[in-house]
Amino acid sequence: MYSLKKCRFCEKPAIVRLEYANLRLCEEHFKQYYVNRIKRILEKHRIRGKLLVAVSGGKDSMSLLHALSQLNDIDMEITAFHIDLGIFDYSKKSREVVREFAKQIGVVLIIYDLKREIGFTVPELAQAGRRPPCAVCGIVKRWVLNKVAYENGFDFIATGHNIDDVSTIFLKALLTQDIYTIIRAQSEFSPSKMDIKLVGRIRPQYYLSEMENRLYVELNGIPVVEEQCPLSMGATIHKYRTVWDTLLKINPVSQINLVRSILKLRKGIPIEEQRLLPCKKCGYPTESKTGICAFCRLIEKAKKTLGK
């Protein structure tokens, strides 16, 4: 990663070589490049107004929050948002790290305590629903983020997905014939549909790598939670990730190209328009045939099983 060669833009030694862009950069120019990449995505999708930034405490969303706080020339107001999922010490630690950092950079933070707000933690919901914790956690995060953003008048939600996450999701979907994921997986932007209470999403790090996020975190001294969520340890998606080391050596743009290829191919698939209707219980959109969203079904099941 390190080299003694010079930065593309100045005389200083490069500290990083971005293979996919064939670019060597010094510390200052890397930071500028990184923030600019994020800025360009926001400009491309005309993101402005009130932006709710979903921050887990991990390196992706913490670097996203920092970079967004540097963008003074975009007409937007950012608020950090953290969900305390009740995952034992991991959640306690994450909450503290996010709280300290938001204070340090002067960004308003909303904390949503799942146990207090809905009566159950993610481990409890997973146990009651007899489903893998990550699937339950995904349903909860999507619902809570949308509800809080909608009720508080936010124009968009920003999350920290990176190219390593996205390319691995697509790779696994291809290798397991999971066509649903290929068709439905989110791209870098999904627009708001406020008439059905759906707040738009922007994923500004969609084409940035974990390595770039980690470097940005290190160079800016951003505190992050290093541990992985204890509930996601066994998830098979982590095994698929390991193939990229080899593939990226053969072709540094393989991750980006896989994602772009799938997004292009997707355009040719005649997809039935997603029929989103308000959930009969909570009023937020769902495509469920039963008329009750996945989140409300989880809660119902937990109330029955855990008797609350």
Q: 3-class SS at 179?
A: helix
For residue 137, state whether it binds ligand FES (rule: CB under 6 A). Answer: yes
For residue 64, state whether it binds ligand FES (rule: CB under 6 A). Answer: no
For residue 98, state whether it binds ligand FES (rule: CB under 6 A). Answer: no
Which among 101-109, 226-234, 257-265, 295-303 is the span making contact with ligand FES, rule CB under 6 A? 226-234
For residue 134, state whether it binds ligand FES (rule: CB under 6 A). Answer: yes
Task: Give the Cα separation of 23 and 14 in Å (integer).
Answer: 9
CA angle 265, 266, 269 (to 5 degrees): 100
Closest by alpha carbon to 30, among 20, 44, 16?
16
* 220 CB burial (10 A radius; 0-12, 13-18, 19+): middle
Of the candidates 80, 163, 173, 231, which one interacts with ligand FES according to CB under 6 A? Answer: 231
Residue of minimal Cβ distance to ligand AMP: 160
Which among 59-67, 133-141, 255-263, 264-272 is the span making contact with ligand FES, rule CB under 6 A? 133-141
Helix axes 133-151, 122-129, angle to 10 degrees: 120
Interacting positions 79-118 with ligand AMP (CB under 6 A): 81-83, 85
For residue 229, state whether it binds ligand FES (rule: CB under 6 A). Answer: yes
Q: Which does 61 bind (CB under 5 to 8 A by kind): Zn ion, ligand AMP, ligand FES, none?
A: ligand AMP
DSSP state of 205: T
Task: Give the Cα separation of 128 and 117 in Å (integer).
Answer: 18
Indicate the residue among 90 and 207 with the shorter CB distance to ligand FES: 90
Of the candidates 54, 78, 125, 293, which one interacts with ligand AMP according to CB under 6 A? Answer: 54
Residue with tokens 């997905």: 161
Which among 41-49, 52-60, 193-201, 279-287 is the span making contact with ligand AMP, rule CB under 6 A? 52-60
Positions touching Zn ion (CB under 5 A) are 7, 9-10, 12, 26, 29, 279, 281-282, 293, 296
Which among 99-107, 157-165, 242-250, 295-303 is the span making contact with ligand AMP, rule CB under 6 A? 157-165
**149, 246, 285, 286 from 143: Cα distances, Å:** 10, 37, 9, 10
Q: Which does 281 bind (CB under 5 to 8 A by kind): Zn ion, ligand AMP, ligand FES, none?
A: Zn ion
For residue 224, state whether it binds ligand FES (rule: CB under 6 A). Answer: no
Counting every residue, how long is the chain?
A: 308
On whether the CB atoms of residues 46 and 35 are closer than 8 A, the answer is no
| Token output for 280 | 């009969």
Q: Which does 222 bind (CB under 5 to 8 A by kind): ligand AMP, ligand FES, Zn ion, none?
A: none
Q: Which does 212 bind (CB under 5 to 8 A by kind): Zn ion, ligand FES, ligand AMP, none?
A: none
Catalog residues that contact ligand FES under the rule CB under 6 A.
Answer: 85, 87, 122, 133-134, 137, 229, 231-232
Catalog residues that contact ligand AMP under the rule CB under 6 A.
Answer: 54-56, 60-61, 81-83, 85, 141, 159-161, 165
